[in-house]
């Protein structure tokens, strides 16, 4: 057991995957000598060679299409998209090729491509460096979409993603890259499967569903609410597609209240999907309508405004008050 | 304050239309064999018998293509993209390939698929709407044809990189049209292929049209010139000359096998039919131009050449015709014999491990369909 940052845990996960399977190759911009702009691939080109850790031309559609061709040839490509906002040029190949070839070919051609995307805000960045585009991919059949929230999950989930025969879009919460945690070299078969959510705090009053960068915030909210006498169950969703609705449903059957949070814009987002699905499944058990705490329906704002865009501890607690039927921002406070 | 150096309005430099550079041509439209100092050597082995075999494939391709158009007219196929006029470009290139090479094409390359060994039923499956793929890519070394214009050029490049990593001398070939050369994917493919010296051949069939748009709208310069900007050697070849196409393809394949990287071939041809069976070229194509191209027919010139050499006996010509007829009839029978896929297969193969949610949707829909079982309103 070692204590490392999430970035290092991802790096060691990639290293393990490359050791385990010689068909694993890495492609991306600046991932070789530089080790990636976040240093996640630090040292991998030195140790595995430029043939397996390839710096590519600066062209995301090209990277993604070439990864498709490599997969056709029987490789397991791992693509690094430098920042969330730069995945859009690759969107075409992801949606029309990566996510469909297995279906198109009646199961003949597999696309075991892993697409790593550092994502999310909170780092004071310029435009296109703070986006949360996960809903586009979750809406696309044939792609698995996951996000890690801890160094341990980062390490294990990246290995699971690479070993998976389906394409996996792997969202890395970049503002948590430097958060430290203990990391064990888990046996993949013993680890929680990639498509399963995890209850990270048990509770009885409210189910709070989060993923990626906001899992830490949700845990903090549970702690703060506990001081207030409220018991919050926090679920780290981990898999954004397919959704582990069974785990969420089990929790909501117990609590009768649901709050979902993500940084991504609200409309048509994952929160909507989760709220709708859980309402369908548990309508008669709900004590309150589900509440979403999300980014607003605006393009990602400039850095000096991002604190207003991003869900934070207080906004989560406000939503908890709302589902508890307490006074909250919409009712106003009377003495 | 604005700081600016706007030009004072001199006239734009006029660009002369560049002269049409010489096409590589070994068989003239009248069947005359033209000597070529470079390319002759690459088809030295193509004696009368082999040429006859290329001829036969072109005749078969034209015949089943015509059959498929007829099947569409009869309502048996939803759509068909005719290859009429492009037989030499497709057969000449595809026949140069080895079985271990891998081909990534667009939708019109049914002549290529035939050469790779696709069965008649595999050629029509997609166009009848029964499936999204016709054949098993691994079985014939040919990917499922691409509908997204240009996307497959990147797949070919990636596959080629994989061949190089595997240390084999197999080559990936990307087929695409003149319209596709405007797509970013095609340009990015050339960037990657050039940077990594990928063993890939970019085979562009310039059939002069992208639906209704003439090639001049895609490029003011010969398409082959585009490759030069990426440091990729390119050649323009008479796409209606099966020998020249084969020679140029062999040169490119050889370059790739020797580790010398990609090549670009522009096969200059003409789409003699509509874009697809849904198209109406009378709205945009000049019939006189079509007539000029008809005089350059890829099959007629080989026929004439073989006749001159006394290599196409009446019996042999009859055999070729019968073979083509038989293949077309197989295609017809296969089309009529196809049964619609089972409704619940719509859920199959989204993921290798199906998700619980999709399994739920499947079982709910199965229950819904079951309601109609035994009622008169159901299927069939
Ligand atoms: C990305 C994309 N845009 C538009 C279309 C619609 N479309 C289908 S074929 C075609 C023309 C393609 O022309 P070309 O590349 O020259 O190939 P050809 O049809 O002549 O073989 C168009 C615009 C498409 N299939 N894909
Ligand atoms: Mg065209």
The minimal CB distance from A107 to the residues B185, B349, B357 is found for: B349
Decide if A2-190 and A198-324 have a common fold. yes
- Ligand 2 centroid distance, CA of B293 (Å): 15
For residue A186, what pLDDT is reported? 84
Extended beta strands in chain B, E state: 102-104, 172-177, 200-206, 209-210, 213-214, 234-238, 263-268
| pLDDT digit string (tens) for chain A, length 335 residues | 799 999 999 999 999 999 999 999 999 999 999 999 999 999 999 999 999 999 999 999 999 999 999 999 999 999 999 999 999 999 999 999 999 999 999 999 999 999 999 999 999 999 999 999 999 999 999 999 999 999 999 999 999 999 999 999 999 999 999 999 999 988 888 999 999 999 999 999 999 999 999 999 999 999 999 999 999 999 999 999 999 999 999 999 999 999 999 999 999 999 999 999 999 999 999 999 999 999 999 999 999 999 999 999 999 999 999 999 999 998 987 76
- Cβ separation of A109 and B184 shorter than 8 Å? no
Residue of the CA atom closest to atom 4 of ligand 1: B149
Contacts of range B112-119, beta carbons closer than 8 Å, 24 or more positions apart: B112/B142, B112/B175, B113/B140, B113/B142, B113/B145, B114/B57, B114/B60, B114/B61, B114/B64, B115/B57, B115/B90, B115/B91, B116/B140, B116/B141, B116/B142, B118/B142, B119/B334
CB A66, CB A36: distance < 8 Å: no
Give the residue numbers spanning the domain of B361.
343-380
Chain-centre distance for alpha carbon B28? 23
DSSP annotation of A304 reads G
Q: Do B226 and B261 fall into the same domain? A: yes
pLDDT tens for each residue of B18-61: 445 579 999 999 999 999 999 999 999 999 999 999 999 999 99
The minimal CB distance from B189 to the residues A62, A104, A246 is found for: A62
For residue A192, what pLDDT is reported? 97
C-alpha distances out from residue B129 to B132, B134, B273, Å: 7, 10, 22
Please give the class, per CATH, of domain A2-190. Answer: alpha beta
- Ligand 1 centroid distance, CA of B299 (Å): 26
- Cβ separation of B158 and A70 shorter than 8 Å? yes
- Ligand 1 centroid distance, CA of B106 (Å): 9
Q: Do B244 and B356 fall into the same domain? A: no
- Cβ separation of A72 and B136 shorter than 8 Å? no
What is the average per-residue pLDDT within B341-358?
97
Q: Record the tokens describing residue B250, joined without a space.
A: 């062999």
Residues 6+ apart with CB under 8 A from B144: A101, A104, A105, A109, B132, B133, B134, B135, B137
Q: Do B228 and B374 fall into the same domain? A: no
For residue B74, what pLDDT is reported? 97
Q: Which pTM was predicted?
A: 0.96
Q: Do B133 and B210 fall into the same domain? A: yes
- Ligand 2 centroid distance, CA of B117 (Å): 24
For residue B366, what pLDDT is reported? 98
- Ligand 2 centroid distance, CA of B275 (Å): 8
B351: distance to nearest CA of chain A, Å?
6
**Predicted ipTM of the assembly:** 0.96
Return the closest-CA partner of residue A21 out of A163, A187, A153: A163
Q: Do B314 and B351 fall into the same domain? A: no
| A334 Ramachandran zone, left/alpha/beta (phi>0; psi -120 to 50) | beta
| A124 and B CB contact within 8 Å | no
Peptide bond into A31 cis (omega under 30): no
Task: Decide the pairing of beta strands A114-119 and A53-55.
Answer: unpaired
Residues 6+ apart with CB under 8 A from A281: A245, A249, A252
Q: Record the tokens describing residue A256, joined without a space.
A: 């009768």
- Cβ separation of B191 and A104 shorter than 8 Å? no
Q: Record the tokens describing residue A217, joined without a space.
A: 């915030």
- Cβ separation of A69 and B154 shorter than 8 Å? yes
What band does B15 get if pLDDT is binned at 50, 70 and 90? very low
For residue B7, what pLDDT is reported? 65
- Cβ separation of A105 and B137 shorter than 8 Å? yes
Tokens 């309601």, located at residue = B371
Percent of chain B with pLDDT over 90: 92
User: For chain A, what are the domain ranges?
Assistant: 2-190, 198-324
CATH code of the domain occupying A198-324: 3.40.50.920
* A328 counts as catalytic: no
Q: Record the tokens describing residue B301, joined without a space.
A: 């010139």
- Cβ separation of B351 and A142 shorter than 8 Å? yes
Gap between the Cα atoms of B380 and B89, Å rounded: 43
Q: Do B369 and B302 fall into the same domain? A: no
| B248 Ramachandran zone, left/alpha/beta (phi>0; psi -120 to 50) | alpha
Q: Which of A102, A129, A155, A262 is catalytic?
A: A129
Q: Do B347 and B313 fall into the same domain? A: no
Gap between the Cα atoms of B347 and A99, Å rounded: 14
Ligand nearest the Cα of residue B276 is: 1
Gap between the Cα atoms of B15 and B32, Å rounded: 36
For residue B10, what pLDDT is reported? 56
DSSP annotation of B16 reads P
Q: Do B119 and B233 fall into the same domain? A: yes
Helix (H) or strand (E) holding B323: helix B314-337
A321: distance to nearest CA of chain B, Å?
31
Q: Do B301 and B356 fall into the same domain? A: no
For residue B376, what pLDDT is reported? 62
Q: Which atom belonging to ligand 1 lies closest to the Cα atom of B180?
A: 15
| A74 and B CB contact within 8 Å | yes
B118: distance to nearest CA of chain A, Å?
15
pLDDT tens for each residue of B282-304: 999 999 999 999 999 999 999 99
A76: distance to nearest CA of chain B, Å?
11
For residue A335, what pLDDT is reported? 64
Per-window interface: A 18-47 vs B, CB < 8 A = 25
Helix ranges (H only) for B12-119 are: 48-73, 87-94, 110-116
Instruction: Name the residue of B211, B218, B273 whose CB sits within 8 Å of the most ligand 1 atoms, as the mutation to test its pocket.
Output: B211
Q: Do B257 and B355 fall into the same domain? A: no
Contacts B133 to A, Cβ<8 Å = 104-106, 108
Gap between the Cα atoms of B380 and B373, Å rounded: 11
Q: Record the tokens describing residue A106, joined without a space.
A: 């009646």
Q: Do B273 and B378 fall into the same domain? A: no
Binding-site residues on chain B for chain A (CB distance < 8 A): 102, 104, 131-133, 136-138, 143-144, 148, 151, 153-163, 165-166, 172, 184-185, 188-189, 191-192, 195-196, 348-353, 355-358
A101: distance to nearest CA of chain B, Å?
9
| A276 and B CB contact within 8 Å | no
Gap between the Cα atoms of A214 and A193, Å rounded: 21
| pLDDT for residue B240 is more than 60 | yes
For residue B1, what pLDDT is reported? 76
- Ligand 2 centroid distance, CA of B205 (Å): 7
For residue B5, what pLDDT is reported? 75
For residue B17, what pLDDT is reported? 45
User: Which CATH number do you get for residue B246?
Assistant: 3.40.50.970
> How many domains in chain B?
2
CB A113, CB A99: distance < 8 Å: no
C-alpha distances out from residue A40 to A7, A174, A238, B124, B339, Å: 5, 11, 20, 48, 52
For residue B16, what pLDDT is reported? 46
Helix (H) or strand (E) holding A173: strand A168-173
Cβ pairs bridging A and B (under 8 Å): 143
Report residues whose beta carbon is within 6 angstroms of any ligand 1 atom.
B 106, 108, 147-149, 177-180, 207, 209-211, 271, 275
More confident residue, B16 or A269: A269
* B275 counts as catalytic: yes
For residue B176, list its beta bridge partners: B204
| A50 and B CB contact within 8 Å | no
Q: Record the tokens describing residue A171, joined without a space.
A: 């969202």
Contacts A64 to B, Cβ<8 Å = 154
Residue of the CA atom closest to atom 21 of ligand 1: B177
| pLDDT for residue B277 is more than 90 | yes
Q: Do B130 and B276 fall into the same domain? A: yes
């Amino acid at each position: 057991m070692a204590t490392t940052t999430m970035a290092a845990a991802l790096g060691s996960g990639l290293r393990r995957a490359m050791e385990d399977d010689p068909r694993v190759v890495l492609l991306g911009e600046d991932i070789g000598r530089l080790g990636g702009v976040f240093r996640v691939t630090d040292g991998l080109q030195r140790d595995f060679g430029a043939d397996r850790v390839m710096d590519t031309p600066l062209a995301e559609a090209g990277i993604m299409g070439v990864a498709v061709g490599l997969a056709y040839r029987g490789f397991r490509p791992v693509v690094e998209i430098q920042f969330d906002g730069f995945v859009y040029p690759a969107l075409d190949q992801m949606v029309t090729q990566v996510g469909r070839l297995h279906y198109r070919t009646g199961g003949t051609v597999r696309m075991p491509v892993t697409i790593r995307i550092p994502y999310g805000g909170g780092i004071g960045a310029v435009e296109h460096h703070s986006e949360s585009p996960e809903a586009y991919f979750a809406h696309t059949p044939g792609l698995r979409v996951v996000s890690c929230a801890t160094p341990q999950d980062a390490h294990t989930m990246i290995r699971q993603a690479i070993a998976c025969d389906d394409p996996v879009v792997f969202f890395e919460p970049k503002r948590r890259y430097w958060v430290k945690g203990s990391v064990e070299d888990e046996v993949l078969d013993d680890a929680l499967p990639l498509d399963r959510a995890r209850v990270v705090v048990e509770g009885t009053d409210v189910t709070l569903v989060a993923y990626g960068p906001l899992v830490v915030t949700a845990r903090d909210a549970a702690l703060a609410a506990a001081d207030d006498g409220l018991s919050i169950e926090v679920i780290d969703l981990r898999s954004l597609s397919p959704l582990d609705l069974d785990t969420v449903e089990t929790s909501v059957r117990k609590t009768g209240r649901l709050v979902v949070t993500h940084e991504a814009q609200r409309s048509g987002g994952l929160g909507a999907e989760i709220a709708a699905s859980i309402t369908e499944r548990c309508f008669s058990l709900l004590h309150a309508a589900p509440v979403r705490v999300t980014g607003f329906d605006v393009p990602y704002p400039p850095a000096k405004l991002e604190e207003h865009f991003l869900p934070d501890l207080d906004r989560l607690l406000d939503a908890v008050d709302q589902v508890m039927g307490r006074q909250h921002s919409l009712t106003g406070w009377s003495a | 304050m604005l700081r600016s150096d706007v030009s004072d309005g001199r006239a734009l430099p006029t660009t002369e239309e560049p002269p049409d550079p010489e096409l590589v041509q070994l068989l003239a439209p009248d069947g005359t064999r033209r000597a070529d100092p470079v390319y002759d050597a690459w088809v030295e082995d193509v004696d009368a018998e082999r040429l006859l075999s290329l001829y036969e494939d072109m005749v078969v391709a034209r015949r089943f293509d015509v059959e498929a158009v007829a099947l569409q007219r009869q309502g048996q196929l939803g759509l068909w993209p005719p290859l009429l006029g492009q037989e030499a470009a497709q057969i000449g290139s595809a026949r140069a390939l080895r079985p271990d090479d891998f081909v990534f094409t667009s939708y019109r390359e049914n002549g290529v698929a035939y050469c790779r060994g696709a069965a008649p039923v595999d050629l029509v499956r997609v166009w009848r709407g029964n499936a999204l793929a016709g054949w098993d890519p691994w079985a014939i070394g040919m990917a499922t044809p691409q509908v997204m214009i240009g996307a497959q050029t990147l797949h070919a490049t990636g596959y080629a990189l994989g061949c190089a990593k595997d240390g084999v001398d197999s080559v990936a070939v990307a087929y695409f049209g003149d319209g596709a050369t405007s797509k970013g994917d095609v340009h990015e493919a050339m960037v990657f292929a050039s940077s990594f010296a990928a063993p890939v051949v970019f085979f562009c069939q310039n059939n002069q049209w992208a639906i209704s748009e003439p090639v001049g709208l895609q490029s003011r310069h010969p398409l082959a010139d585009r490759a030069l900007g990426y440091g990729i050697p390119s050649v323009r070849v008479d796409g209606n000359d099966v020998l020249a196409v084969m020679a140029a393809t062999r040169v490119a394949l050889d370059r790739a096998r020797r580790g010398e990287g990609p090549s670009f071939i522009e096969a200059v041809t003409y789409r003699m039919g509509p874009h697809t069976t849904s198209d109406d070229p009378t709205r945009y194509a000049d019939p006189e131009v079509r007539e000029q191209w008809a005089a350059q027919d890829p099959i007629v010139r080989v026929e004439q050449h073989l006749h001159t050499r006394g290599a196409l006996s009446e019996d042999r010509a009859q055999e070729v015709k019968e073979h083509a007829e038989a293949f077309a009839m197989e295609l017809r029978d296969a089309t009529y014999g196809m049964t619609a896929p089972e409704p619940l297969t719509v859920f199959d193969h989204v993921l290798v491990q199906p998700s619980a949610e999709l399994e739920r949707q499947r079982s709910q829909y199965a229950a819904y369909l079951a309601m109609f079982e035994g009622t008169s309103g159901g299927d069939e």
